[in-house]
Structure 1
Amino acid sequence: MDCKHEVQFNGLCAICGAILESSEITEAGINMSHDLKGLTVSRKEAERLEKETAERLRKDKKLSLILDLDQTIVHATWDPTVGEWMDDEKNANHSATEDIRKFTLAGSPLVYYIKLRPGLSEFLEKVSQLYELHIYTMGTRHYAEAVAREIDPRGTMFRERILSRDESGSVTQKTLQRLFPCDTSMVVVLDDRSDVWSFSPNLIKIKPYEFFVGTGDINSPFGPKQTEKTEEPKADPEVPKPDDPPTLAAQTREQEAMVEEQTQQRPLAQKQTELNARQERPLLVDDDRELYTMLKILSEVHSRYYKAADSQTSNTTAPDVKEIIPSMKSRILKGLHLVFSGVIPLHQEPSQSWLWQLAISFGANCELELTGKVTHLIAAKPGTSKVKAALKYGKRISIVTPAWLVDSTSRWAIQDEALYGLAQPSTPQEIENPESTPLDFEDAFEDADNSLVENIDWDEADREVEDCMNESGTDVIDTDSDTVESPLGPPFKGKRKRYASGDGEDEESDEDSDQPRIRIRRPSRSRSPLSARRAETAQRGRSHLSKVTTANSSDGSESPSNESDSSSSFLDDLAGELDDEID
């Protein structure tokens, strides 16, 4: 039947009820409804409907705001530990559970625990005066409606404007064209993930809300896998095609595994136990303030749009949030020059990194190398060559962690760099391998030796030096060296035996030798180094150095003068050693 009506429902004309041919169904294939999958309209009808919506919004001085649920305005978990903490008033986490809601879905005994983001009630009340609110979630319709009843119990803010994965046509992507196929100039999106929106310029990204530590997004399997690679937003993204049954089945299995993990392993209880081992304090802490920041940003977007709309003339184009939001973002980090160290994988082109593009979208200039223009070094760890070089610049370059960039862009304001400083490694207090570590005697005995030096009688020390130098022929042997031969003759061939002297000192001797036994007294530790050296020399006796002669180059006669010069040279060396010992 040849039907010219613009609205169809499941292969039937919604006006006259005629059964439509496949070609006619294709022509009118735009789905604009939130809760009906089979209701479609033609392109002409879609344009008419959007025009009516735009006129109504302009009359009320409003824009459209699409809100995500999980980790944007609420956080959800299945961990039964939460219910136990809610019931136990003596538990340290009980006070933090006051704003937690719980419910079950039709046909399932599974309990959902939902924590509203701090300030949500005030946020919704104020933002609903500036925007017409929509919900767009990767959760099921039953889940979306249950959450909506908790955050909007009177049903006046969202009404029927709730879109779930059951009707969206895709369980991996979100798109504005699903709800606004013709005109997105008045549509703003608030979501904790930008990749699911293909980095749309309509998006305002909020920092993910994670109240239940370590549980993440319970609906994350139904969405794109998060990667570090970003993409340029498409000019006219298409409505995503319905995902195939195998993909949906795999995502469902993944979510079922998450349910089993949380209900059986109880990750919150485990993390509380780990925390108690280090410090007795509650795991659940609710100090998030992000919605207050988002309210200011959304208010400014609204103000800029209607300021431009009120001043619009026939010669100017209508305002567009796709231009307003990027313009606002670009001034946040304007004038800053950033360099990255240890953050971007080596195999990746730096300009394609999500952190690089994030910084660029907020107005920063990204550099590859440190120069005099650089203001911030974003580093993952200390000790890199760039970090060492940046330290030489002093306070001219702020060395911060990647969290500084993430928080500055999430809150649309430059954060205090001192709160994100890169932790430098601390100097170890204990020596890991003392046997192979040389000691620094000057530092180790700095205080102890001061008292010894102060008590030295320097006149007595001078006399000892003079007496030692007057002992002609005295010679000091370096007994610690294995390469110096003793002038007393060949080395002993007998065994060395240790004797005990009368005062308890050890003595050494050599048996089975023709040489007379020589006893060497070890210097007492209580003696000064100079006295010890002098006593050791005295016990050795006089050396044979005075008997050494040198052959004359012509007749081989002895040369007393050479003997005297040799002795004098030796005494000079000895005096130098003694001076060094005193010093």
Structure 2
Amino acid sequence: QCCCPSLQLQSIAISDPTVVRLERWRVKPGQYVNPTDSLGLLRTSAGKELRLYPPNGGRIVRLLVSDGSAVKLGDAVCELEPCEHSIVMKDLCAECGQNLQWRARRTAPIGLATVAMVHCIPELHVSQGRAECLAAEDEDLLLKQRKLVLLVDLDQTVIHTTTQNVPPKLAKVHHFQLKPPVWYHTRVRPGVEEFLARISRRMLQSANKDRQFEVFIPRGDHMIVIIDDRDEVWDSMPSLIHVKPYQFFEGTEDINCPPGSAVPASKADPMDLVEKAMEHQHPQPEKQQEQQPQDPNQPIEWPDNDRYLYRLADILTDIHSEYYRRLDASTGTDGGGGGDSATAATASTKAKPPESRQVCTKLRGQVLRGCRLVFSGLFPTSLPPEKSKAYQIATGLGAEVQADVQLGSKVAQDSRTTHLVAAKSGTSKFHRARKAQPESPDGCSIVNPEWLWTCYYEWRRCPEADFPVVADVDYLGLRRDSRQRRDSEVKRYKSDRKRRRQESLV
């Protein structure tokens, strides 16, 4: 049963003082009518025949007088339930059939459909009440099936697409055109089939990407989990899992961002530079040409050791388990198999669902709990640490950030620095941490910035020994070399685009 509020019934009365009789009705109860539809025929005292029209569209509920009855001014002859126009397709009401285009220049009536629920059909709109009603039904179905909603970004999350020239025989790369003459080349991230098959048992996937939740999630995002390689699109929402960007084609980042539209280096956070600098870079196509097989019909294999989706599936599984553990605890039911499953599902739909953002925040905050971090060389000293990306990531993972290295036997156990995250060796903090290591019972791990980003992407504390700070290596300086390669790729892209345009004109 629809939970949309019904409008109050209207009584249609005789407004002409000369009318004396209702000859016959032309409608039946339950019939939808428009303002231009004739409800019945009236007869005046002079014998003239008139037509009865409704004041607005709606559904006829009841006829109060019969054919041939005598009527006078002010007598109610029928009851009309006004149509709230809760479903509109191209300015036509799907319930009463009224053309609403003329209302565009007037004040919108109550209940006019303004919510676009279907992403692929933008002309279809429903009212806010109808949207909430449909969302409530979907929410109940999710709770009964013990699932969540997963909002999936595509490019650089589960696929990578480029418009650069690549070998046509490149293995596992799909080539297509959206609008000639540009060709797109897409590589699917390794393990995506197993990832979707595993997650589909716990979540419903959606490929829509829209920051305005009220458009397609009228009842809120409390059952939504988002995976995206760009956290700035979602303003770092708590329910967002910032995935490690998948980059198979070197020199191409998000295909939705045109070349040169990236954040300028002067405005970019130093931690973002470290992230990009430490990401795995695939060999250039020119270098791959030397490794091509002799047989022209044999596919060309480029190395791809990305295995991030397997870890991402574990993260989503943990979120799902914790979400429904909280729900079962609030309802006092056992949803894991013990007891009556039907009773548990009914109790779940009646209870207030937990917030997915709270679940994500809790699990994320356990990654580096108990760790005390000091940063060295990750951001300018003039920048307050609280405004840096590194600080926000560390505190979000549950770590405590200290201003300086605190080690030695005189420092309390619960105040000793556990990690020094250094962008390069040779700094004063680096030397103090290394010098104090023999005096500290627990020691201080000195790691490069990739350790922090790997913990952030994988939601687990990674082995510190895998991320040493190599002498004479400036991890932030690596990004400068990468930026120069990107600029050269942008120039080559523009040159190829100009050449393709000239060829199309010829």
Same fold at TM > 0.5: yes
Q: In the TM superposition, what is the alpha-carbon distance from 1:228 to its structure 2 partner? A: 4.8
Amino acid at match of 2:206: H
Q: In the TM superposition, what is the alpha-carbon distance from 1:175 to its structure 2 partner? A: 3.8
Residue 385 (str. 1) matches residue 465 (str. 2): no
Secondary structure at 1:370 match in 2: coil
1:501-554, CA deviations, whole angstroms, 9 ceiling, x for partnerless residues? xxxxxxxxxxxxxxxxxxxxxxxxxxxxxxxxxxxxxxxxxxxxxxxxxxxxxx
Residue 98 of structure 1 is aligned with which of 171, 178, 181? 171
Residue 371 (str. 1) matches residue 406 (str. 2): yes
Residue 61 (str. 1) matches residue 146 (str. 2): yes
Aligned CA distance change for structure 1 residues 180 and 15 (closer, same or farther; 3 Å): same
Q: How does 1:510-529 map to 2 (within 5 A)?
A: none
Counterpart of 2:125 in structure 1 is: 40
Counterpart of 2:198 in structure 1 is: 126
Counterpart of 2:377 in structure 1 is: 342
Secondary structure at 1:291 match in 2: helix
Residue 5 (str. 1) matches residue 85 (str. 2): yes
Secondary structure at 1:32 match in 2: coil
1:355-377, CA deviations, whole angstroms, 9 ceiling, x for partnerless residues? 11011111111111111321111
Secondary structure at 1:81 match in 2: coil
Partners of 1:136 and 1:307 in 2: CA distance: 28
Secondary structure at 1:356 match in 2: helix
Range with greater deviation from structure 2 (218-227 or 109-118): 218-227
Secondary structure at 1:378 match in 2: strand
Residue 328 of structure 1 is aligned with which of 359, 363, 373? 363
Partners of 1:316 and 1:9 in 2: CA distance: 35
Residue 208 of structure 1 is aligned with which of 245, 258, 263? 245
Counterpart of 2:452 in structure 1 is: 405
Secondary structure at 1:403 match in 2: helix
Counterpart of 2:478 in structure 1 is: none
Counterpart of 1:509 in structure 2 is: none
Residue 269 of structure 1 is aligned with which of 285, 296, 300? 285
Secondary structure at 1:53 match in 2: helix
Secondary structure at 1:423 match in 2: coil
Secondary structure at 1:58 match in 2: helix
Q: Given that residues 86 and 112 in structure 2 are in contact (C-alpha distance below 8 angstroms), is that contact kept between their aligned partners in structure 1?
A: no
Q: How does 1:439-458 map to 2 (within 5 A)?
A: none
Residue 80 (str. 1) matches residue 165 (str. 2): yes
1:291-341, CA deviations, whole angstroms, 9 ceiling, x for partnerless residues? 000111111111122222233239974212111111000000100111111
Residue 110 (str. 1) matches residue 126 (str. 2): no
Structure 1 residues not aligned, in runs of 5+: 87-96, 138-167, 169-173, 231-266, 277-281, 427-583
Amino acid at match of 2:177: T
Partners of 1:273 and 1:381 in 2: CA distance: 35
Amino acid at match of 2:384: E
1:120-159, CA deviations, whole angstroms, 9 ceiling, x for partnerless residues? 111111111211110035xxxxxxxxxxxxxxxxxxxxxx
Residue 292 (str. 1) matches residue 310 (str. 2): yes
Partners of 1:51 and 1:44 in 2: CA distance: 11
Q: Given that residues 275 and 283 in structure 1 are in contact (C-alpha distance below 8 angstroms), is that contact kept between their aligned partners in structure 2?
A: no
Aligned CA distance change for structure 1 residues 33 and 316 (closer, same or farther; 3 Å): closer
Q: In the TM superposition, what is the alpha-carbon distance from 1:5 to its structure 2 partner? A: 2.2
Residue 357 (str. 1) matches residue 375 (str. 2): no
RMSD: 3.0
Q: Given that residues 146 and 202 in structure 2 are in contact (C-alpha distance below 8 angstroms), is that contact kept between their aligned partners in structure 1?
A: yes
Q: Given that residues 271 and 283 in structure 1 are in contact (C-alpha distance below 8 angstroms), is that contact kept between their aligned partners in structure 2?
A: no
Partners of 2:367 and 2:90 in 1: CA distance: 48
Of all paired residues, the percent bearing the same amino acid is 35
Amino acid at match of 1:349: P
Partners of 2:118 and 2:261 in 1: CA distance: 24
Partners of 2:363 and 2:379 in 1: CA distance: 26
Q: Given that residues 212 and 284 in structure 1 are in contact (C-alpha distance below 8 angstroms), is that contact kept between their aligned partners in structure 2?
A: no
Q: Given that residues 272 and 283 in structure 1 are in contact (C-alpha distance below 8 angstroms), is that contact kept between their aligned partners in structure 2?
A: no
Secondary structure at 2:315 match in 1: helix
Q: Given that residues 84 and 112 in structure 2 are in contact (C-alpha distance below 8 angstroms), is that contact kept between their aligned partners in structure 1?
A: no
Residue 181 of structure 1 is aligned with which of 215, 218, 240? 218
Aligned CA distance change for structure 1 residues 317 and 60 (closer, same or farther; 3 Å): closer
Secondary structure at 1:393 match in 2: helix
Amino acid at match of 1:312: S
Structure 2 residues not aligned, in runs of 5+: 1-55, 58-82, 271-282, 293-299, 332-346, 408-415, 474-506
Amino acid at match of 2:181: P
Partners of 2:447 and 2:356 in 1: CA distance: 32
Q: Quick check: which has more Rg, 1 or 2?
A: 1
Higher helix proportion, which one?
Answer: 1
Partners of 1:321 and 1:204 in 2: CA distance: 12
Amino acid at match of 1:65: L
Instruction: With a CA cutoff of 8 Å and minimum separation of 6, indicate the structure with the bigger relative contact order.
Output: 2
Amino acid at match of 1:100: V
Aligned CA distance change for structure 1 residues 334 and 228 (closer, same or farther; 3 Å): farther
Partners of 2:464 and 2:425 in 1: CA distance: 16
Q: Given that residues 65 and 189 in structure 1 are in contact (C-alpha distance below 8 angstroms), is that contact kept between their aligned partners in structure 2?
A: yes
Aligned CA distance change for structure 1 residues 58 and 317 (closer, same or farther; 3 Å): closer
Secondary structure at 2:187 match in 1: strand
Amino acid at match of 1:127: I
Q: In the TM superposition, what is the alpha-carbon distance from 1:223 to its structure 2 partner? A: 12
Partners of 2:372 and 2:163 in 1: CA distance: 44
Q: In the TM superposition, what is the alpha-carbon distance from 1:422 to its structure 2 partner? A: 0.8
Counterpart of 2:231 in structure 1 is: 194
Q: In the TM superposition, what is the alpha-carbon distance from 1:187 to its structure 2 partner? A: 0.9
Q: In the TM superposition, what is the alpha-carbon distance from 1:42 to its structure 2 partner? A: 2.0
Q: In the TM superposition, what is the alpha-carbon distance from 1:212 to its structure 2 partner? A: 1.2
Secondary structure at 1:115 match in 2: strand
Q: Given that residues 158 and 189 in structure 2 are in contact (C-alpha distance below 8 angstroms), is that contact kept between their aligned partners in structure 1?
A: yes
Secondary structure at 1:306 match in 2: helix
Partners of 2:471 and 2:313 in 1: CA distance: 37
Residue 308 of structure 1 is aligned with which of 301, 317, 326? 326
Aligned CA distance change for structure 1 residues 229 and 384 (closer, same or farther; 3 Å): closer
Higher strand proportion, which one?
Answer: 2
Partners of 2:220 and 2:181 in 1: CA distance: 42
Counterpart of 2:502 in structure 1 is: none
Query: Aligned residue pairs: how many?
Result: 337
1:224-264, CA deviations, whole angstroms, 9 ceiling, x for partnerless residues? 9556569xxxxxxxxxxxxxxxxxxxxxxxxxxxxxxxxxx
Aligned CA distance change for structure 1 residues 274 and 402 (closer, same or farther; 3 Å): farther
Aligned CA distance change for structure 1 residues 337 and 108 (closer, same or farther; 3 Å): same
